[in-house]
Structure 1
Amino acid sequence: MASRDTSDFSNTLAGLSLSDPARRALLKAAAASAATFAAGALFAAQGAQTQSSGKTLRIGFQKYGNFVVLKARGTLEKRLAAQGTSVQWLEFPAGPQLLEGLNAGAVDIGTVGETPPIFAQAAGVDFVYIGNEPPAPNGEAIVVPHDSPIRSVADLRGKKVGLNRGSNVHFLLVKALQHAGLSYADITPVFLTPADARAAFVQNSIDAWVIWDPYLAAIERQANARVITNGEGLVRNTQYYLAARKFADAQPQLLRELLAELEQVDRWSRDHILAVAGQLSPLVGLDAPTLELALNRASYGVQPIDAAMLDYQQQIADTFTELKLIPKKLVVADAKWRAV
């Protein structure tokens, strides 16, 4: 995945001037992509040293979400201590990088949006879907500067649109363009991490940004960004829990314990938005009101993977196959957890 990202960076750079801040941001992101690829070797070495035998559950998480709440509350550690199992938390900047860690053997389980698993399965990562949160379509959007002449998705023709390649918003962009009568070829995608995309956005080096919460809430509140569309009626924006297949086959009861604890944290979080915002604020580096906005758009309640969710993921996979963004047709159901 990292090598294809670097190629996409090169293609995008060709369309930017030498002085363009977006070019400098892309060069930085390309370097980060290469670093991520190199980090795979480190992950593999770590994985070889700490391969889980049921005594340690290694969880990949991102800086926002219910895994952060679960980690802060410490309830999973207490639940698993009785079984002689400890918990190791590994932070990643986004879903694609987290799945690199899982592929390298450094992570047993992680949580990502709906698109990263598609790119990961296409790259041969051996994982299974073990659960999901309900859809949260309002938690991601396409935004433009408040004074931009762009009023709708149709106005994006010929524009530079920033996004994290292979993230959940990649599918939102494709569906929004289709709904507006545009094709993916009608815009210039600029692949940037959220931090670099925000910098390019506020410097007007990109015309629009496709982003998810809490980055979405932050740019709305801090820079008065204007939403031209969100996922409502276009995509589900589902959060998935994935596990390395070998680990899931070997430790099904441990994963059930984790999902049960997540369900309890979800129920608590749904009824205590203000408390969760206050708890996350120092960990995420965002003020509580911004997090409240994001949390009120989130979904709560762990669900088992069913046929409808697999069919939805298959739609995403087929879409990216048609766009030649993944090299072959996938059978998403091959990644279903078949625990008894």
Structure 2
Amino acid sequence: MSHALRPTPSRRRFLAGGSVLAAGLALPALGAHAQSSRPVLKAGDQKGGLRALLEAAGALDGLGYDIQWSEFPAAAPLAEALNAGAVDSGPIGDAPLIFALAAGTRVKAIGANRSDAYGTAVLVRPDSPLRSAADLKGRSVATNRGSIGHFVTLKAITAAGLQPGDVNLRFLPPADAKLALTQGSVDAWATWEPYTAMAETAGHARVLVSGRGLLPGLSYLAATDAAIAAKRPVLQDFLQRVSRAQQWANRNVAGYSATLARIIGISPEAARLQFERRQQAWVPIDERVIADQQATADFYAKVGLIKAPLQVAGTFDRGFALAG
């Protein structure tokens, strides 16, 4: 995995548009030193992710540290940034986290989020003759390698009795994959929210197979080992702010959806659709979370996406508490 990081256009916009947020009170755990030299959290994000949530909820008030945001279009470049130490922390799905860990990225999951997996889906054009996962045999599917889109594709076709080699996977980032689908150069696109809702509400695609019943709906806030060692109080505060912001959003669906649409530049219809059906909640890292993550790792080993079995228990740091 390369350590060279090429910012995407969206990432450049975030960096050029004032990427450091600073306000308020110092964290008690950081002491007087923080008042003269504030810590900086290098926070990675994905489209529709944490920054929009925190800003909409007003959860960035009173920070005792600065946040330097970097946005990525998908988990793979975010994982690369974590591996390179370019970011300290970021949101990442269960499958891409396993892919990153198997590649040697030194990160741990410090918070777990569980949601309805419907929007992690294999999409086809509205006029496509394909009607089920079994119809994907011999067809081309665009997705990111190691992503939750890759994961849902493999889960869907194996549940239908097919083998991984029965489909032609084309590894493309979301924007290129969407274009390939709409132009007809691939038969399907496996993706996640908010891309699924964006494609549906624009009339560009329909869901062929959803992740509901196939995936555990887990994603994580991951942090590098180095950041956990050096910035643990900052990461703890950040996770609790994220957790509180999610609780606020769940109580204020209409307002949050409108703000989300404006912040990340998608239609209000797509913002509300993807938010309402995900039903996200930050949950403790318990034995069920670990068992679900282990099952995902075992599946990736079974289909050959990782070279050796991965025991996931050690890839969690369970010392971080959620907001009450």
Specify the alignment match of 1:69 in structure 2.
53
Name the CA distance, whole Å, in 2 between partners of 1:93 and 1:142.
18
Name the CA distance, whole Å, in 2 between partners of 1:40 and 1:197.
19
Name the CA distance, whole Å, in 2 between partners of 1:100 and 1:223.
33
Residue 110 of structure 2 aligns to a residue whose secondary structure is strand
Deviation digits for residues 217-276 of structure 1, max 9, x if unmatched? 111121352212211111123121111112213333322211221121111111222212
How far apart are residue 180 of structure 1 and its match? Answer: 0.7
Structure 2 spans left out of the alignment, 5+ residues: 8-33
Instruction: Return the match for 1:284 from 264, 277, 282.
Output: 264
Which moved further from structure 2: 200-209 or 309-318?
A: 309-318
Alpha carbons 1:161, 1:209 under 8 Å: kept: yes
Say whether 1:80 aligns with 2:53: no
Specify the alignment match of 2:30 in structure 1.
none
Question: Which of the pair is proportionally richer in helix?
Answer: 1
How many residues align structurally? 295
Specify the alignment match of 1:324 in structure 2.
304
Specify the alignment match of 1:188 in structure 2.
168
CA distance 1:226–1:300, change in 2 (3 Å): closer
Alpha carbons 1:249, 1:339 under 8 Å: kept: no
How far apart are residue 149 of structure 1 and its match? Answer: 1.2
Specify the alignment match of 2:285 in structure 1.
305
Q: Taking structure 1 as the reference length, what is the TM-score of the superposition?
A: 0.80
How far apart are residue 74 of structure 1 and its match? Answer: 5.1
AA partner of residue 47 (structure 2): K
RMSD between aligned residues: 2.4
Name the CA distance, whole Å, in 1 between partners of 2:178 and 2:187.
11
Q: Percent identity?
A: 38
Specify the alignment match of 2:79 in structure 1.
99
Specify the alignment match of 2:251 in structure 1.
271
The within-5 A match list for 1:97-246 is: 97-246=77-226
Specify the alignment match of 2:232 in structure 1.
252
Name the CA distance, whole Å, in 2 between partners of 1:79 and 1:318.
42
Specify the alignment match of 1:90 in structure 2.
70
Specify the alignment match of 1:21 in structure 2.
none
Specify the alignment match of 1:10 in structure 2.
none
Name the CA distance, whole Å, in 1 between partners of 2:233 and 2:4.
34
Alpha carbons 1:58, 1:107 under 8 Å: kept: yes
Alpha carbons 2:115, 2:281 under 8 Å: kept: no
Name the CA distance, whole Å, in 2 between partners of 1:202 and 1:255.
40
Alpha carbons 1:267, 1:300 under 8 Å: kept: no
